[in-house]
Each structure stands twice: as structure tokens, then as C-alpha cells.
Amino acid sequence: MKKILLVEDDLTFSRIVKTFLEKNGYELKSTTKLKEAKNLLASQRFDLLIADFRLPDGTGIELLQWSKKEHPDTQVILITHYSDIRIAIKAMKLGAFEYITKPINPDDLLATVQESLALKSKAATAPDQPTVQPPANSQPQNPTPTYVVGNSDEAEVLEKHLQLVAPTDLSVLVLGETGTGKEFISQRIHELSERKNGPFIAIDCGALPRELAGSELFGHVKGAFTGALENKTGHFESARGGTIFLDEIGNLGYEVQVQLLRAIQERTIRKIGGNKEIEVDVRIIAATNENLLQQSGEGHFREDLYHRLNEFSLHAIPLRRRKEDLNLFADHFLTQANQRLNKSVKGFSSGVWEVFLSYPWPGNLRELKNIIKRAVLLTTGELVELDALPVDLINAEIADPSPLTTNQSLESSQDLSSLKNYKDHWQEQEKDLIEKVLKETQFNKSKTARILKMDRKTLYGKMEKYGLN
């Protein structure tokens, strides 16, 4: 029986989770404090650690870092009341298996627990054999590529531009919506460049605390500020001879923007608290889903830095605009999920494909990857069926038709009328369902959102849309 340690100071929530997981065949021990959790982990073996982010004597991040150092084989899932993407990103980078927010859907929690333990079991049962180095000229068997080019017209243009800019040393700005694969595009530029044998260091600027961003990027000397107990090498030094990728660059504070501009212009940096100029040979690729020119006009982003970063720009393509590439990405993520979960799912049913093709994919490639990973975990047969998909995906609202270009036309006005009638009928049903659940829960919006399997933000938007406030 797998053993789980739950660290949660909300005793009611802790009791609910404990009862639920024990009913599903797990042995669970709970505590409320970080210190007690460390003592338990030091004295007993646990397969999984589930920790709240906010604890009376510390944070789940502290426990995660300690656990990964002292007990690297123990999987960690972080939970919190606060849907803070910066904490989520930091937790995943520090080695957390997954990050989930309250209120927690029991099925999602169970699926995440099962997936984390399945991955641990796969690693534990791997044969303990000495590593045999393959011959220098051998190729790995059936490697899973990390980048899918695609066959759509826009994908071909993107690849052509990428191939042109990669061998140069131009700074590149990758623009695009969240989840469109901007980091993968940046990695591909690095791999096709003359710097491919150097390091590729990816930094999420949105996850950098404002007061420490300069130290993380450029380093600091001992005693530069409270807590600077030793010299620190920054990311720019670590990336020498390679590429540094600055994701969500618009989140950097103004002071750090000044330091970054100087680093680009002079090709030198100065550590926080230091007086020595350090030469750095790095290529900079930045990415954002925001309008940096608009931000510069509002005084939030330096226009001169924008132009330094934007020597060449690439646009990551939203998944809704490359539906002809959907099968390539779906097969790619299916292969990855099979490998990670030790499954052998062969494909998707026709019903699943209909949903995939009609869904607008607001979360883009990241959303597709997560949905396929979850579906593979829940699938017991050869094909992913509809019951393995999230309910809100199947019941997703039909998107409004995209504006027509001069090269597009509807076959007839009857097609548009039919689509509109279907959409109106569906919206009326959705309104009735939301109103019914709201009345049954006495307008408890959190409970209503859980029952309808949608987040509260989505529920509030639909309530306003249908006049249910």
C-alpha cells in the first residue's frame, strides 16, 4: 500500500482528503506544520508528499526544496487556496510533480495522485543495470522529438523564418499567446545555431521576485544585501557561450530593465554589490504574450530595450489557427504520455477527434498536452474515448465563427443560420443548467463551480453573460 504524507493546517480539509484517499486504497498520515513534516519524512518512508503552500511555520516551497534534497525519490504535489501562477511555475521548476488549487475536485486529485505514483513505480521497477554507452555513431531508437514543425501554411512560414535567423546572432523576440510553445521555438533556434554546444538557460521572468530579479540574472557578491551570505553566479554568467531565454520579459521591473539594456549594449554585466565588469558572450531570446510597445507607451517597459530585443521577431501560432496540425501534436503528446505513464494507448476514437477539432483550444498546446496526459492515465483500452475527457471540454461553448478573409466564404447563408440556431439552443440549455445548480446550492458559487466542473472565473463570466447575478 502506497504511503502519503499530507501537510495541511486546515483540519476540515485535511480530514476530507484523508478519508477520500484512504477509501481509494492509500495509507495516509497527516500533520499541520513544516517542522513536524520534516521529522516524519526523516523517520518514515513516504511515496508521496502533498503539502499546502501556506503553513503556520513556513511554506510548501520550503518543504519541497528540503524534501527534494533529503528525499529525492518522494514525489511532491503542492496545493493552495491561491491560484498564483508564479508559485506554480516556481514549484514545478523546483521539482514538484504537480500543482493544484483549492477547491479541489476529488477526481482530479485522485488522477494526479495516481499519475505521480505511477511515475514513481515505473522508475523504481526499472532494472538496476550499469549504463552502457552506445557507439559514437549510433542513433537512439525511436527518439521522441521535442519540436513539431507542422504542415500548415503558417507553420511552414514560421519554420522558414526560424531557419533563417537561427545561424545569426540576432536577438529574437518570440510573440504569442500563453501555451503556444514559445520556449520550444527558442530551444529550436538554439539547437540550429552556432551556439548549440553551449548552454541553453530558460528564465521565467514572471517567477522572479522583483527584489531578487537582478541578483538572479546578474549575480551578487557576498554582503551585497541582507541574506547575501556568499557570492552568487547569475544566469547571464552561467549562459556564457550559449543562449539565454527570457520568458515573459514584460514582467521585469524597470531597474532590471536598465541593467539588461546595459548588458545587451556593452556585453558586460556587474554583479549586485560588485564593482568589476564581467564580459558575457550570450545570445538573448525573449518571449512575451503582452504588447510591449503599448507597455512602453504607458511607461512600464523601456522602448529602447524593446528595440534591442526585437532585432527579429517570430510569432508562435495559436492552435485554433493550425487545426491541420492537430493530429501531429496529438500523436506527439500521446507518445510522451505513454512513455511517462508506462501505457500503450494507440490513438483516439472518432468521437474524441470530433471534440478536438471543434474545440477552440484557448490554452493552446499546453492545454492539449495536459488533456491528453490525463486521458491516457484514465484510458484502459487501446483508444482514448470520450469518457476520458474533461466534461467541460465536451460541453465547451461553440466558438463564434472567425471573421472571414477575402479568400474565405461560407457555402451558403443557411450554414451560418443553422450554426447560430444550434448555438442559441445550446446557450439556453447552459443557462438553465447554471441557474438550476445555483438555486440548489443557494447561490454558493464555489460549490456551483465544482458541480459544473468549471473554475469560478468562468462561472462568474457566464453568470454575467446570462444575467444570473
Give the count of domains, the chain: 4
CA dist., res. 95 & res. 92, Å (int): 5
| Confidence at residue 257, expressed as pLDDT on a 0 to 100 scale | 92
Q: Which residues of 331-356 are buried (b: 16+ CB within 10 A; e: fewer)?
A: ebbbbbbbeebeeebeebbeebeebb
Phi/psi zone of residue 273: left (φ > 0), alpha (ψ -120 to 50 degrees), beta?
Answer: left
Domain end marker among 295, 315, 335:
315
Query: Which CATH number belongs to the domain containing residue 41 in this structure?
Result: 3.40.50.2300
339 belongs to a structural domain: yes
Is residue 190 located within the same domain as residue 328?
Answer: no
Per DSSP, 125 falls in state T
Is the same domain home to 199 and 270?
yes
127/122 Cα distance (integer angstroms): 10
Sign of CA dihedral 307, 308, 309, 310: positive
Q: Does pLDDT of 314 surpass 90?
A: yes
Cα angle: 448, vertex 450, 453; to 5 degrees? 110
Domain termination site, one of 274, 294, 315:
315
Residues linked to residue 204 through DSSP beta bridges, in sequence order: 247
CA atoms within 13 A on the CB side of 98: 18
Instruction: Give the pLDDT mean for 359-381.
Output: 91
| Percent over 90 (pLDDT), the chain | 35
Domain CATH for 419: 1.10.10
Average pLDDT (114-141) is 51
Of 441 and 457, which is predicted with more confidence? Answer: 441
Q: Are residues 378 and 428 in the same domain?
A: no
Domain annotation covers residue 221: yes
Residue 269: pLDDT over 50? yes
Contacts with 396 (C-beta within 8 Å, 6 or more apart), sequence order: 359, 360
- Residues 163 and 278 reside in one and the same domain: yes
In a domain? residue 402: no
- Statement: residue 420 has pLDDT above 80: no
Same domain for 274 and 332? no
Sheet with 283-288, strands from edge to edge, namely 200-204, 243-247, 283-288, 172-175, 312-315
> Which of 112, 87, 95, 143 minimizes the C-alpha distance to 26?
112
Last residue of a domain, one of 315, 337, 370: 315
Mean pLDDT within 144-157: 80
Number of residues that this document lists for the chain: 469
- Output the pTM of the full model: 0.57
Residue 139 lies in a domain: no
Query: Is the pLDDT higher at 45 or at 130?
Result: 45
Q: Tell me, what CATH number does 280's domain have?
A: 3.40.50.300
One domain for residues 336 and 297: no
CATH of the domain at 329: 1.10.8.60
Side-chain-side CA neighbours of 57 within 13 Å: the count stands at 10
pLDDT at 211 over 90: no
Q: Which of 369-378, 405-414, 433-442 is modeled with the greatest confidence?
A: 369-378
Q: How confident is the model at residue 141 (pLDDT cuts 50, 70, 90)?
A: very low
Beta bridge partners of 76: 49
Angle between helices 34-43 and 60-70 (to 10 degrees): 20
Residue 20 has pLDDT above 90, yes or no: no
Q: Which of 150-154, 342-346, 413-417 ranks highest by mean pLDDT?
A: 342-346
Same domain? 173 vs 294: yes
For residue 230, is it within any domain?
Answer: yes
Does residue 138 form part of some domain? no
Q: How far apart are CA 63 and CA 39, in angstroms?
A: 11
Same domain, 367 and 339: yes
Quick one: which of 42, 37, 94, 45 has its CA closest to 65? 94
Is pLDDT of 404 > 60?
Answer: no
What is the average per-residue pLDDT within 201-222?
85
Q: Are residues 97 and 175 in the same domain?
A: no
Q: From CA 226, how far away is CA 120, in angstroms rounded?
A: 39
**Predicted confidence band at 170 (pLDDT cuts at 50, 70, 90)?**
very high
Give CA–CA dist 415/148, Å, rounded.
34
Q: Do 251 and 203 sit in the same domain of this protein?
A: yes
CA–CA distances in Å: residue 264 to residues 141, 259, 267, 280, 319: 41, 9, 5, 9, 33
Average pLDDT for residues 431-448, to the nearest whole number?
80
Residue 199 has pLDDT above 70, yes or no: yes
| Mean of all residue pLDDT scores within the chain | 81
Decide if pLDDT at 391 tops 90: no
Q: Are residues 221 and 260 in the same domain?
A: yes
d(CA 63, CA 227): 19
Q: Is residue 131 part of a domain?
A: no
Residues contacting residue 355 through CB under 8 Å, at least 6 positions apart: 386, 389, 393, 394
Tell me if 314 sits within 8 A of 185, measured CB to CB. yes
Q: What is the pLDDT of residue 292?
A: 87
Q: Read off the pLDDT of each residue in 10-38 and give the average, rounded to a whole number.
A: 88
Q: Which residue range forms the structural domain that includes residue 268?
A: 153-315
**pLDDT of res. 411:** 40
Distances (CA, A) of 66 to 49, 56, 58, 94, 154: 12, 17, 12, 10, 45
Q: Is residue 345 part of a domain?
A: yes
Question: CB 279: neighbour CB atoms within 10 A?
Answer: 10
Question: Who has greater pLDDT, 444 or 160?
Answer: 160
| Tens digits of residue pLDDT in 292-307 | 888 887 888 999 999 9
Q: Residue 189: which residues within 8 A CB-CB, separation 6 or more?
A: 162, 165, 166, 172, 243, 285
Calculate the dihedral angle through the C-alpha atoms of 103, 389, 94, 235, rounding to the nearest 10 degrees: -120
> Do residues 189 and 299 both lie within one domain?
yes
Give the Cα separation of 106 and 450 in Å (integer): 10
- At residue 381, the pLDDT reads 92
